[in-house]
Structure 1
Amino acid sequence: MRTIATRVQERAVTTPAVIALREKDLGIWQQVDWAGYWDFAELVGHALIALGIEPGDRVAIHSENRREWLYADIGTVAVRAATVGLYPTNPVAEVGYLLKHCGAKVLIAEDQEQVDKALAIEDLPDLTHIVYVEPRGIRNRYDDPRLLAWPDFLALGKQHRTEHPDAVSQRMDTATADDVVTLVYTSGTTGPPKGAMLTAANVDFAIQELVERGGFTAPPPSPRDSVLSYLPLCHVAERIFSCWFGAGAGVCVHFAESIETVASNLHEVQPTVLFGVPRIWEKIAAGVQIRIESADPVKRRIGGFWLRRADWIGDVLTANGGRHTAASRAVYAVGWLFCYRALKDRVGLRKVRYAASGAAPIAPEVLRFFMGLGLPMHEVYGMTENTAVATANRPGRVKVGTVGEPHAGVEVRIDETTGEILTRHPGTFAGYWRDPAATAAVLEPTGWLHTGDVGEWVDGTHLRITDRMKDIIITAGGKNIAPSEIENALKASPYIKEVLVVGDRRRFLAALIGIEPDTVGHWAQQHRLPYSTYADLSAKPEVIALVQTIVDEINGRLATVEQVRSFRLLPKLLDHEDGELTATQKLKRNAVMRSFAELVESMYAGGAR
């Protein structure tokens, strides 16, 4: 069976000196070629066998994006075990739940912070070894017998390879299509995370469709392409672009130093393929606005003029499936000379030939903004349970506001009664780990997967998602409202970061709104409005009035029943560790409503604004 491990091994043989990975060390980009990539992954495999890992066992990885994450992933798959990724931001309680639920035997932890989380959990009977990558604060201070330093772990692998040189290759030769290669835990927006089992066959189908057949990019990705790895690698979307694109097409992967340095790393790397969740694209768009507003008067006028031209170009591209007209091409060519080239270079988007947004709905206004700047934007759709293979907007056939057309070999239908989207193809997962009831609830015996998303067809070809079934609001008047469309429209403003529309069984819709601290802070400075903290800024009457103008503008586009008639600004940034966001920055709606129940009730007790 061909796996991601055999693919990396093949590249180590056919193109050993080609650069596969780049990562910064002490400010300098260090390079790893395909031969080195496979050498480290093979050492990990041997070390795992030496530690007693058998086919079907689980190996957990708790780390930021870095080379060792991929070495551990590929090495684990090579010995027919399953990788379990943990989000770096997972608090102790979640780490304990995940490690115990999956029954991991080995944990590869990045540093003292992640090691401490594991050591704080008492009841982990299956966990026999904790391998730590960064020694600072750990070596000579901890005496837990399970601890093993990364260099010692690799040395164990070298010794095992010397004594049993064919052990890893023998495991690889016996791999089957049904081998579970990874457990990807869902974000847990409505309950405890569930471990989706993806098999070798699932991943191979995804690589064939998304990479080799160019299901996303046209032409398909190649060793000439580069990506920046910055979203959590335990998320299936980042695994596609950082691991499967590399193994399947030889794409060079650059690891961002941290999520905080993405902006500077983008500028340094200038990737050719870029994937982002909506929050990332909204953040970049807000940054562009701040950059232009902060420029000197001449540059500000020039930038403002060409951004208005970009709005028109975006509208033209939207109307033409992402294709230019002669007029829009001419205007863009002039704008490229005076504005767009320099702007895209500074933001790190100058070389991007394919850009995608997925994992959550995005406002069409954000897509049009980037399209107007010359970025080939495509909204795509998939989920963990179908190995992220469902639909995509294809170059030249983009319909903004939709998630595109089904991939080749993918069946998509919409339930006539509920409107739910169902998919069926060889990438459909094997089920939820240790949860047959949850599996049966979403996976029909005929192979149809219930996505939980509500959608409709546009022009008979493109799929449009209206909302999650569980999020649909039914007002006191009996009207069904999809809150995500209203929320995304509001979040298209650079001044708004988070929105939660409420109103189930209520007489009107209201919203909890979180401001974007960077852009609102910049606005406050321009208006000489002093503030000290986020809470102080959110409480300013002037800021509330600013948000009111945005709400009023969006309300003008909506039917009366869909209008937000009252809102409150959140007094704090929502946080994963507080249980208000998932690790992928999705709102946990019920948790947020519980945390701010008094604000919600105040909107209805006081009536509409």
Structure 2
Amino acid sequence: MTPTAAPHADTLALQRLYHWERHSPGKRVFVQPYGPGDVRHWTWGEALIETRRMAAHLQSLGLPPGSRIALISKNCAHWLMADWAIWMAGHVSVPLYPTLTGTSVRELLAHSGASLLFVGKLDDWASIEPGIPDELPCIAFPLAPEGAKRRFSGWDAACAAQGPLAGTPTRAADELATIIYTSGTTGMAKGVMHAFGNFAAATAAVLARVPFHPGDRLLSYLPLSHIVERTFLEHTLLATGYEVYFAESLDTFIADLQRARPTRFASVPRLYLKFQQGVLAKVPAAKLDRLLKLPVIGWLVKRRVLKGLGLDQCICAGGGAAPMPPAMLEWYKRLGLEILEAYGMTENCGVTHTNVKGHQQIGTVGPPYPGAEVRLDPSTQEVQVRCAWNMQGYYRDEAATTAAFTDDGFLKTGDKGAIAADGALKITGRVKDAFKTSKAKYVEPGPIEEKLSALPLFEACCVAGASLPQPVGLVMLGDAARAKAATAAGKAEIEAMLAKHLDAVNATLDSYLHLDALIVVGEEWTVDNGLITPTMKVKRAGIDATYGPHFERWLASGAKLVWAERVVAETPKAAQAA
């Protein structure tokens, strides 16, 4: 395969905006919760009026063309309108994760050279505010924290002071559209540069494999600061003009899903697992299995479960960011929801591989998208990709950019894989994740973690043990399992399940890979305590640093199951980052 050709001008982001403004001004595009019982709607025409007014305001500031303008907010309608206004005004958007510490915010604002910052919906304004320099101009969205609205000028006031920007200003395919900072599993985040043409080419590849339609409904809740939501929501929205709903909060998430009843839905494995655990907490697995086997009742049960989750209208579901346990995929498939695992990186717009509806290959991320050329490095088995939507490079880091590509233009993903005869890719680990035990044996944690994660009790797991005689498994129980373990009888039942699962996993492994013990961690792994990224990937360096000093003590008794005490202090994010 060869990379796709340069995109047509009418597929670029701003041209698509003008298309919907001209042809569907009365079609609803956004549904935004504004608090309990309050929901606001925008049509394309209404959204473009606000976008044009904000673009006019940005132009009135006299910033040099191509200035970097940052956004920090949870997903909301104003996030997308601000992004479009930044582009319309001739500038570059720099999205920041709304879960960052103040220290990280300050670092990324400085690194990007941001000239202005949009501040929106945030859960922890107190820790973020110190990271915003006093001299940096800021604009607060209507849903920003009250403290931000008191400190900064407001979106509505800025729009009211300007007439809509006239005309149809456009941007060339090779112009820089955005700088997306990676979530940073291994140190300082890098700023990935994508041009407008990158997104157009990537979107064309997505639509060739996963067609979206104007009548679709999607719920936007995966961070818009992440590449998946930018490509698979923002740019497919611009391409096809469907309707986007937003989530209010974690507490209202199921209600938000039920309001949207999305026709397409994507998530990380951790959320699908939480859904599954929630269902099984109400209907025990054995009982659900019996009900699903009954001809008529089984169909009714499937519909009821999916409707309770807000997914009864979903015709296409996707998963990614981490491997999904095959048993969980099979469980959802029995309910009538086929979750298609996909694969990609920030550096290639998140568009590399995906399973195909009706032809799901569980255990793989499917074949490559049209236009993506994929190969394995013969010595390391690293997955390498060449396509028209690979990044322009890392912002202000020529050395890292050069190191990211082979001499013939393939992006080095850092992931190890295996490719089947039909092109389906199985991710087998990270090139740099392997560690050596004290017996001088190398351990690839990824395949062992895939086996561990098959037990629905776990919300997350990690295999560690550099310099130990044998590797160990660190596991974080899900909410239901933690609640059950609070009683003596429940804890005994869980211990029996864990012991059986450990034996079953070890039976499939060579002796030097046998897990010496399962360590049930005493705290939840969160973005705040630095043990996972905003996209729910485990930070191995953080796990090693946090738990490594305790391994010798925990394992001294020779027990195969260790209930570890809490070792992560509940400190403010700003203090943790210092």
**Given the two structures, how large is their TM-score scaled by the length of structure 2?**
0.89
> How well do the aligned residues superpose, as a CA RMSD in angstroms?
2.5
User: How is 1:278-293 mapped onto 2 (pairs within 5 angstroms)?
Assistant: 278-293=269-284
Asked whether 1:509 is paired with 2:471, we answer yes
Would you say the 8 A contact 2:203–2:232 is kept in 1?
no
Q: Which residue of 1 aligns with 2:545?
A: 594
Q: Which residue of 2 aligns with 1:109?
A: 119
Q: 1:601/1:156 Cα in 2 relative to 1: closer, same or farther (>3 Å)?
A: farther
Q: Which residue of 1 aligns with 2:332?
A: 370
Letter in 1 for 2:156: P
CA distance in 2, matches of 1:230, 1:475: 40
Q: 1:228/1:140 Cα in 2 relative to 1: closer, same or farther (>3 Å)?
A: closer
Q: Which residue of 2 aligns with 1:481?
A: 443
Cα shift readout 1:417-455 (whole Å, capped 9, x = no counterpart): 110000001100001111111111112342210000000
Q: Which residue of 1 aligns with 2:571?
A: none
Q: Which residue of 2 aligns with 1:133?
A: 142
Q: 1:135/1:208 Cα in 2 relative to 1: closer, same or farther (>3 Å)?
A: closer
Letter in 2 for 1:190: T
CA distance in 1, matches of 2:407, 2:126: 43
What SS does the aligned partner of 1:59 have?
strand
Letter in 2 for 1:458: A
CA distance in 2, matches of 1:337, 1:577: 41
Q: Which residue of 1 aligns with 2:47?
A: 37
Q: 1:114/1:377 Cα in 2 relative to 1: closer, same or farther (>3 Å)?
A: closer
User: How is 1:112-191 mapped onto 2 (pairs within 5 angstroms)?
Assistant: 119-121=129-131, 127-134=136-143, 137-138=146-147, 142=151, 147-158=152-163, 161=164, 165-166=166-167, 169-170=168-169, 172=170, 175-191=171-187
Cα shift readout 1:75-123 (whole Å, capped 9, x = no counterpart): 1122231211111111111111111111111111015877655652476
Letter in 2 for 1:265: D
Q: Which residue of 2 aligns with 1:97?
A: 107
CA distance in 2, matches of 1:522, 1:607: 25
Q: Which residue of 2 aligns with 1:315?
A: none
- Unpaired segments ≥5 residues, structure 1: 294-299, 310-330, 530-539
Name the count of aligned residue pairs: 550
Q: Which residue of 1 aligns with 2:221?
A: 230
Question: Which residue, 174, 199, 202 being the options, matches 1:203?
Answer: 199
Question: Which residue, 251, 261, 265 being the options, matches 2:256?
Answer: 265
**Given the two structures, how large is their TM-score scaled by the length of structure 1?**
0.84
Would you say the 8 A contact 1:19–1:32 is kept in 2?
yes
CA distance in 2, matches of 1:18, 1:370: 33
Asked whether 1:576 is paired with 2:577, we answer no
Letter in 2 for 1:108: F
Cα shift readout 1:19-63 (whole Å, capped 9, x = no counterpart): 111112342443211111222222221111112333321111111
Asked whether 1:63 is paired with 2:73, we answer yes
Would you say the 8 A contact 1:228–1:269 is kept in 2?
yes
Deviation for aligned residue 1:555? 2.7
**Identity in percent:** 30
Q: 1:585/1:135 Cα in 2 relative to 1: closer, same or farther (>3 Å)?
A: closer
Asked whether 1:11 is paired with 2:7, we answer no
> Which structure would you say has the larger RCO, counting Cα contacts within 8 Å and 6 or more residues apart?
2
CA distance in 2, matches of 1:424, 1:580: 32
Would you say the 8 A contact 1:394–1:404 is kept in 2?
yes
CA distance in 2, matches of 1:336, 1:377: 20
CA distance in 1, matches of 2:502, 2:286: 27
Q: Which residue of 2 aligns with 1:88?
A: 98
CA distance in 2, matches of 1:129, 1:463: 44
Asked whether 1:396 is paired with 2:347, we answer no
Deviation for aligned residue 1:605? 4.4
Deviation for aligned residue 1:362? 1.5
CA distance in 2, matches of 1:579, 1:139: 25
- Unpaired segments ≥5 residues, structure 2: 1-8, 561-578
CA distance in 2, matches of 1:401, 1:136: 43
User: How is 1:418-497 mapped onto 2 (pairs within 5 angstroms)?
Assistant: 418-497=380-459
Deviation for aligned residue 1:465? 0.6
Q: Which residue of 1 aligns with 2:290?
A: 305
Would you say the 8 A contact 1:512–1:600 is kept in 2?
no
Q: 1:403/1:344 Cα in 2 relative to 1: closer, same or farther (>3 Å)?
A: same
Cα shift readout 1:256-290 (whole Å, capped 9, x = no counterpart): 11233222222232211010111111111111211
Q: Which residue of 2 aligns with 1:536?
A: none
What SS does the aligned partner of 1:492 have?
coil
Would you say the 8 A contact 1:273–1:354 is kept in 2?
yes
Letter in 1 for 2:159: L
What SS does the aligned partner of 1:413 have?
strand
Deviation for aligned residue 1:301? 6.8
Would you say the 8 A contact 1:63–1:114 is kept in 2?
no
